[in-house]
Amino acid sequence: MSPKAVITGWGKCVPPVELTNQDLEKVMDTNDQWIFERTGIKSRRISHVEGTDLAELAARRALACAGLEPEELDLIVVASTTPELLCPSVAAMVQDRLGAVNAGTFDLNAACSGFVYATANITGMIESGFVKKVLVIGAEKLHIAMDYRDRSTAILFGDGAGAAVYEATEGDAGVLAVDLGADGSMGYTMVFPSLGTRGEPYEARPIEDVRLYFEGQPIFKMAVKGMAASTEKTLERAGLTVDDVDLVIPHQANARIIDAATRRMGIPPEKVFTNIENLGNTAAASIPMAISDAAAAGRLHPGDIVAFPAFGGGITWGTLIMRWGQRTEPVGTHQGELPPTDATVFDLLENNLRFFAPLHGRDSADPII
């Protein structure tokens, strides 16, 4: 019997600077009620450090939780849409900082489905015996791609990182089935136009080509259908039904998407874990951050059947079905924190607001607020 990939450690990193709906009211035509009714979000976080710093701290916390030393890792995988650099990879930089000298590394980009895609990859490696101990990180610094006067995008996304340690184990616990899917023909619905080599990267690009392009309505419909269908397919592969599911920890895209998708699956709200209200949509980081919060809230129990559905740009989707292992409490804790900052949220967003000001009929030299 081949080993299974089971989560033995978890950790997250939440930047300290908060961007509330009330803050957004000062820079765009919106209000708290409008945002919350459409997204379920009250606030999100803006990072004063690089995404690699967030990834490192989440990783250290996950390793401490699992009771592992960095040298014991065989592989580090980072899922991210907003890496600090394309080369070296974020995973390689994290490996160096941790001292995980025996680990291979790579980054993976499947947008908001990144954590599911990364886990599917390492599950196959663990089941084959190629690796035994793996660190998977989701890390995003999404605010760099936002136009904070565009309420169709900026109200949704936040920064953060989450990490999970997977170990090979014998027995019933671990990843039972996976499903991955994509539809590249719909990739135009969510685009980071400036993050790549398209065109002439040595020439200045138009301002409108720097911010995230996002089509909310088609994404909403595809996300609901995609997450529901993927979960049903993965349960069937695992030989399970919806009634067997104890908890759903979905990608935290939008509270309305989560509600519509889980209702479509026939899963009651009490079996669904969300933390989007005060973190926003953190893309590839959202599921591992939610795992940490679910564990802290006592929502994970030995032997639970847990579903992890996700949907992201690309368009991508995927689901993991997992039988939770014996560990529900951390073996240890990491005491480190991010460097402190005295910056306010508008200090951190000042350059962003000035840069995009001309798109909104403003002079970039005008006062920010």
Active site residues: 112, 251, 281
Strand partners, 75: 104, 134
Q: Residue 56: enclosing H or E segment and its boundaries?
A: helix 51-66
C-alpha distance from residue 298 to each of 64, 87, 302 (Å): 19, 39, 11
Which distant-in-sequence residues (6+ apart) come within 8 Å of 20 by Cβ? 32, 42, 43
Q: Could you tell me the strand order of the sheet in which 316-323 lies? A: 174-182, 316-323, 305-312, 247-248
Q: Residue 254: enclosing H or E segment and its boundaries?
A: none
Q: How many CA atoms lie within 13 A of 292 on its CB side?
A: 27
Lookup: tokens for 143: 């605010």
Q: Residue 25: enclosing H or E segment and its boundaries?
A: helix 21-25
Q: How many CA atoms lie within 13 A of 78 on its CB side?
A: 32
Maximal CA-CA distance, the chain: 66
Q: Say whether 272 sits in a helix, a strand or coil.
A: strand
Lookup: tokens for 120: 């599917």
Torsion of CA 112, 115, 118, 122, to 10 degrees: -160
Query: What's the CA gap between 104 and 281, in Å, rounded?
Result: 29
